[in-house]
């Protein structure tokens, strides 16, 4: 798995390094994570209004860690760059400093999606050399030193505006009731928002109800690959639920079969994008039926995945409820859960 969700990957890095605490439940919120469709019916994985409030709230509830936003959207870029320098160069050992930068401005780093611009979260630390910073990029599984000036140039991109910090002094074990509440909020059993959005965008460019030029469809679908890989988060959920019930996920025939189904889900989004591009280039509107059929196929496939995941969750909850202390199994108070 290369890239799934850069914000989530950054905040999960601390959890992965903490013995006895599992980061995988946090990925429940990734497969249907928020995205943007603008007034011109263009899909985007990032919006200037994205603050990740839901992820931040649940991170606190699941692991006891508060994620604070240091980036001030009411101040200019240079003020925020100055704040970043201060945070990185005075960073306590247990503090993680995240910033959004434009990966396109760092050609020495691999930009696998060839996006321009490419807003992306990483974590930064100072080094013994004042002109060099250490970058940790969990989403791409990369870390290393880069010139401080080059990093700040990428931060100055108009496409990049965001930053958070959080401390890892007291990571807590997640109560199962909180995990269950998070799963229930994230599991959209009767809708697939990403596929629904693609269908709406497609029909806005093709067919009798089209409001946008067909030629714009290629741009509208450009970021499908960046978002399709979020569906790999289902693998984390399957593995965690199986292992919580005493089964080893790796090598399990059922687990491997569902991983293949998830892989097909991800790859078919790419097929949809290519079919749409072929339609644009050829102008053959008869190809639209093939795209619609693939979208319907995606709906059916993802609903099957969700149904099986729900079945595993129900079995886990029932089994854990029978073996737990009744006094400790009360649901998390509603007032403590984010809406």
Count of CB atoms situated within 10 Å of the CB of 135: 20
Nearest to 189 by CA among 305, 338, 292: 305
User: Cα separation of 88 and 134, whole Å?
Assistant: 10
pTM for the model: 0.90
Alpha carbon separation from 319 to 241, 311, 312, 322 (Å, rounded):
12, 12, 11, 5
Q: pLDDT by residue (tens digit) across 139-198?
A: 888 999 999 999 999 999 999 999 999 998 889 888 999 999 999 999 999 999 999 999
Nearest to 181 by CA among 44, 8, 25: 25
pLDDT at 268 exceeding the cut of 90: yes
Average pLDDT over residues 83-89: 98
What is the share, in percent, of the chain residues with pLDDT greater than 90? 83
Average pLDDT over residues 9-16: 94
pLDDT category of residue 111 using cuts at 50, 70 and 90: low
Q: What's the token pair of residue 86? A: 């201060």
Q: pLDDT by residue (tens digit) across 199-214?
A: 999 999 999 999 999 9
Beta bridge partners of 197: none
pLDDT at 335 exceeding the cut of 60: no
Give yes or no for a contact between 224 and 43, defined as CB atoms under 8 angstroms apart: yes
In the 3-class helix/strand/coil scheme, how is the chain assigned residue by residue? CCCCCHHHHHHHHHHHCCCCCCCHHHHHHCCCCCCEECCCCCEECCCCCCCCHHHHHHHHHHHCCCCEECCCCCCCHHHHHHHHHHHHHCCCCCEEEEEEEEHHHCCCCCCCCCCCCCEEEEEEEECCCCCEEEEEEHHHCEEEEEEHHHHHHHHCCCCCCCEEEEECCCCCCCCHHHHHHHHHHHCCCCCCHHHHHHHHHHHHHCCCCCCCCHHHHHHHCCCHHHHHHHHHHHHHHHHHHHHHCCCCCCCCHHHHHHHHHHHHHHHHHHHHHHHHHHHHHHCCHHHHHHHHHHHHHHHHHHHHHHHHHHHHHHHHHHHHHHHCCHHHCCCCCHHHCCC
So what's the pLDDT on residue 44?
A: 93
pLDDT at 120 exceeding the cut of 80: yes
User: Cα separation of 3 and 177, whole Å?
Assistant: 29
Alpha carbon separation from 301 to 17, 218, 252, 295 (Å, rounded):
34, 25, 20, 10
So what's the pLDDT on residue 328?
A: 42
């Amino acid at each position: 798995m290369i890239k799934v969700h850069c914000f989530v990957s950054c905040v999960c890095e601390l959890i992965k390094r903490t013995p006895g605490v599992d980061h995988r439940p946090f990925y429940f919120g990734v497969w249907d994570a928020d995205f943007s469709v603008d007034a011109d019916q263009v899909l985007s994985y990032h919006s200037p209004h994205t603050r990740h409030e839901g992820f931040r709230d649940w991170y606190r509830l699941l692991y006891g860690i508060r994620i604070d936003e240091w980036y001030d959207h009411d101040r200019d870029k240079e003020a925020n760059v100055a704040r970043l320098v201060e945070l990185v160069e005075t960073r306590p050992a247990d503090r993680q400093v995240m910033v959004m930068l434009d990966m396109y401005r760092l050609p020495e780093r691999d930009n696998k999606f060839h996006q321009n611009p490419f807003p992306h979260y990483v974590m930064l630390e100072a080094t013994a050399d004042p002109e060099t910073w250490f970058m940790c990029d969990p989403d791409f599984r990369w870390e290393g030193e880069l010139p401080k000036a080059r990093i700040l140039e990428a931060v100055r991109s108009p496409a990049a505006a965001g930053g958070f910090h959080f401390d890892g002094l007291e990571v807590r074990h997640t109560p199962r009731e909180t995990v269950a509440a998070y799963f229930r909020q994230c599991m959209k059993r009767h809708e697939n928002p990403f596929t629904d959005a693609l269908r709406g965008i497609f029909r806005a460019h093709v067919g009798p109800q089209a409001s946008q030029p067909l030629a714009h469809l290629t741009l509208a679908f450009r970021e499908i690959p960046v978002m399709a890989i979020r569906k790999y988060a289902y693998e984390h959920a399957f593995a965690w639920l199986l292992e919580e019930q005493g089964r080893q996920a790796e090598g399990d025939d059922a687990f491997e079969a569902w991983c293949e189904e998830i892989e097909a889900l991800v790859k078919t989004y790419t097929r949809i994008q290519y079919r749409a591009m072929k339609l644009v280039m050829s102008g053959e509107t008869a190809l639209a039926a093939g795209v619609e059929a693939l979208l319907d196929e995606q709906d059916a496939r993802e609903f099957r995945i969700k149904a099986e995941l729900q079945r595993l969750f129900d079995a886990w909850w029932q089994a854990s409820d029978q073996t737990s202390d009744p006094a400790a199994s009360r649901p998390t108070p509603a007032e403590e859960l984010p809406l």
